[in-house]
């Protein structure tokens, strides 16, 4: 089993600027104060606003992760190199012995899988064959015969393949040999000149001599004129007869059909089910391009190490990366209400009523006495300005303002001017599809058996928000019909006048909104709410309260 030493740090699905920046900044902090390796990850696409922030401070976006369930890539894949189809049975057996392997994977020139051969196949080929034409049926390369017999070529060359004829031991007189020997055959002989000469005249394709016997110049010339290869081996005729069958190429005995192959991206649980239906113990693994990378066994699946993760900016299971229930959660750093995530062991859980997770991360830098560089300061400052809507949100606290003041100095930015640039970059909705807009900053929730989703779009331009309403409304209607969520809401928030137009879809959604905000929705499935800019503090509590009634 491969021990997973890396610890991921990730925000929620459909990540906003805080989710991305707090993951990066916290991973940077943990790597400075811990001997473990922390890697920031993202659970969704980077928004235009966040992309602007990352480019501004020269930081790469975290790698994408869509599922935390253990995959084949998390196992200790045995790096047993692939072999070629023309490898001899003897070489295959010796490689299995040296590698302590019971299966070899045969690969093509491009690295993809051609077939597999097991130690059982090799044994069967050695003891279960009663056919003296098997060497030619297997299209045995002469170079295999030379190598298997530890021989050397006395006449001709070993570039060819034995494709026609049978194999014999020339233990009889020439007259007797004439009765069974045919053109194209292979024969094992001693140092008898007459037998060698007769075999060449008969048209045999290969003569194997034992005991390191040599040939006369006349035999050599005649053999080369007739296209006959002569091989000399140090072994006696009995040993040659036993060994020569092991020169056959493995492609004649390997399995090509119904070979069970796994990808490094396959989930371990899926692999277990398929392995249970197979008699084999070892199975080939390929990468995402189908290139062979190694083997895994049934035993490797008995105790799979869980992936380790730190959650930032969320603690709701519906917002976490898929497969979170299979991972080991080590920490949660958040500023939202307590959610539905449960852990087996006690963990470090830091939850503070501030406007942004990055504010908490900033405090942790200060508490640990770790110097904040310009890039990290820029990311955390950007996240706080984004989450608090440049201090306009009711979630904003004095701690958020203090963090921005200090971080802005390190980052070399003027908060008000920089925030306008950042919001403008994120407000360009013209090139986005309704689906992209809806999921820009989206979260799933569940309460009283009701599953609902809430998105938010912020903009400096009121007309842009108005223009996207029809297409968003149609997209949300189609999404509700799929049945995954009972209700859907999206806040179209105008940063300048600090107001929100709320779009909603789904059965009872109108009743929930009317009860939650004490209004009458006369304009279809939308309602204008002045002064509402915070999903966390002004919308979600009202929706939850109305749903509970």
Domains of the chain listed by start with CATH number: 6-70+306-426 (3.90.1640.10), 73-126+252-301 (3.10.580.10), 139-247 (3.40.1390.20), 434-548 (3.10.310.20)
Query: Of 7-21, 53-67, 122-136, which range is least confident?
Result: 122-136
The mean per-residue pLDDT over the stretch 21-47 comes to 97
10 Å CB burial of residue 45 (0-12, 13-18, 19+) is middle
C-alpha 282: how far from its chain's center?
A: 20
| pLDDT the model gives residue 1 | 46
- With a CB cutoff of 8 Å and minimum separation 6, the contacts of 162 are 135, 136, 139, 140, 141, 142, 145, 186, 205, 206
Q: Alpha-carbon distance 305 to 299, whole Å?
A: 13
Task: For 235-269, write each residue's pLDDT tens digit.
Answer: 999 999 999 999 999 999 999 888 999 999 999 99
At residue 482, does pLDDT exceed 80?
yes
Task: For 393-442, write each residue's pLDDT tens digit.
Answer: 999 999 999 999 999 999 999 999 999 999 988 887 877 899 999 998 89
**Count of Cβ atoms closer than 10 Å to residue 56 Cβ:** 18
C-alpha 475: how far from its chain's center?
A: 31
| pLDDT the model gives residue 2 | 54
**Count of Cβ atoms closer than 10 Å to residue 233 Cβ:** 24
Q: What are phi and psi of 306, to 5 degrees?
A: -75, 150
Which pTM does this prediction carry? 0.72
Q: What are phi and psi of 524, to 5 degrees?
A: 65, -125
Q: Which residues pair with 310 in a beta bridge?
A: 9, 331
What's the length of the chain? 549
Instruction: Decide: helix, strand or coil at residue 504.
Output: strand
Task: For 78-136, write each residue's pLDDT tens digit.
Answer: 999 999 999 999 999 999 999 999 999 999 999 999 999 999 899 888 777 778 999 99
- What percent of the chain shows pLDDT beyond 90? 80
- Give the chain's mean pLDDT: 93
The mean per-residue pLDDT over the stretch 327-355 comes to 93
Give the pLDDT band (50/70/90) at residue 4. low
List the alpha helices (DSSP H) in 34-110.
Answer: 48-56, 89-99
* Angle of CA points 319, 323, 325, to nearest 5°: 90
- Evaluate whether 72 touches 41 at the Cβ level (below 8 Å): no
The mean per-residue pLDDT over the stretch 441-446 comes to 90
- Evaluate whether 507 touches 485 at the Cβ level (below 8 Å): no
Q: Alpha-carbon distance 227 to 213, whole Å?
A: 20
| pLDDT the model gives residue 549 | 76
Expressed in percent and rounded to 5, the helix, strand and coil fractions of the chain are: 40, 25, 40
Question: How distant, in Å, are the alpha carbons of 3, 302, 338, 383 from that of 8?
Answer: 14, 24, 21, 20
| pLDDT the model gives residue 387 | 95
DSSP-derived secondary structure for 435-500? HHHHTTTEEEEEETTEEEEEEEEEES-HHHHHHTHHHHHHHHHHHHHTTS-SEEEEEEEETTTTEE
At residue 3, does pLDDT exceed 60?
no
Query: What count of Cα atoms within 13 Å lies in the side-chain half-sphere of residue 465?
Result: 24
């Amino acid at each position: 089993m491969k021990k997973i030493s890396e610890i991921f740090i990730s925000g929620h699905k459909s990540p906003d600027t805080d989710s991305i920046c707090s993951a990066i900044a916290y991973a940077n902090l943990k790597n400075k104060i811990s001997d473990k390796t922390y890697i920031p990850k993202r659970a969704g696409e980077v928004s235009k606003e966040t992309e602007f922030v990352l480019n501004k401070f020269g930081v790469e976006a975290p790698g994408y992760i869509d599922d935390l369930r253990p995959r084949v890539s998390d196992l200790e894949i045995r790096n047993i190199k692939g072999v070629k189809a023309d490898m001899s049975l003897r070489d295959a057996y010796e490689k299995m012995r040296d590698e302590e392997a019971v299966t070899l994977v045969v690969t093509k020139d491009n690295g993809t899988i051609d077939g597999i051969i097991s130690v059982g196949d090799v044994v069967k080929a050695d003891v279960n064959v009663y056919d003296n034409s098997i060497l030619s049926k297997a299209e045995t390369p002469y170079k295999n015969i030379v190598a298997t017999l530890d021989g050397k070529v006395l006449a001709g060359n070993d570039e060819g393949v034995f494709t026609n004829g049978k194999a014999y031991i020339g233990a009889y007189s020439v007259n007797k040999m004439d009765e069974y020997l045919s053109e194209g055959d292979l024969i094992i002989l001693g140092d008898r000149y007459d037998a060698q000469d007769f075999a060449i005249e008969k048209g045999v394709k290969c003569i194997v001599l034992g005991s390191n016997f040599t040939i006369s110049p006349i035999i050599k010339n005649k053999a080369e004129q007739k296209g006959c290869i002569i091989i000399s081996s140090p072994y006696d005729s009995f040993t040659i007869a036993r060994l020569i069958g092991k020169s056959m190429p493995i492609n004649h005995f390997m399995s090509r059909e119904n070979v069970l192959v796994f990808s490094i991206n396959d989930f371990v649980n899926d692999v277990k089910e398929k392995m249970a239906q197979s008699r084999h113990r070892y199975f080939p693994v390929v990468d995402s391009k189908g290139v062979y990378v190694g083997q895994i066994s049934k035993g490797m699946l008995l105790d799979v190490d869980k992936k380790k993760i730190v959650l930032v900016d969320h603690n709701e299971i519906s917002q976490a990366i898929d497969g979170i229930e299979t991972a080991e959660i080590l920490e949660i750093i958040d500023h939202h209400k307590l959610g539905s995530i449960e852990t087996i062991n006690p963990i470090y859980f830091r939850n503070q009523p501030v406007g942004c997770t990055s504010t908490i991360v900033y405090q942790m830098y200060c508490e640990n006495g770790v110097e904040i560089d310009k890039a990290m300061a820029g990311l955390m400052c950007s996240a706080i300005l984004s989450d608090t809507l440049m201090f306009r949100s009711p979630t904003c606290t004095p701690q958020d303002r203090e963090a921005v003041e200090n971080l802005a100095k390190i980052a070399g930015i003027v908060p008000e001017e920089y925030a306008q640039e950042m919001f403008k970059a994120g407000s360009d909705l013209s090139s986005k599809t309704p689906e992209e807009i809806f999921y820009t900053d989206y979260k799933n929730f569940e309460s009283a058996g009701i599953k609902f989703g809430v998105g938010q779009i912020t903009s400096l331009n009121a007309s842009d928000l108005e223009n996207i309403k029809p297409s968003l409304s149609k997209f949300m209607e189609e999404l509700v019909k799929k049945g995954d969520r009972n209700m859907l809401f999206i806040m179209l928030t105008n940063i300048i006048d600090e107001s929100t137009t709320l779009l909603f879809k789904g059965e009872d959604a109108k009743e929930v909104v009317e009860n939650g905000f004490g209004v009458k929705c006369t304009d279809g499935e939308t309602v204008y709410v002045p002064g509402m800019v915070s999903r966390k503090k002004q919308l979600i509590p009202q929706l939850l309260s109305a749903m509970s009634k």
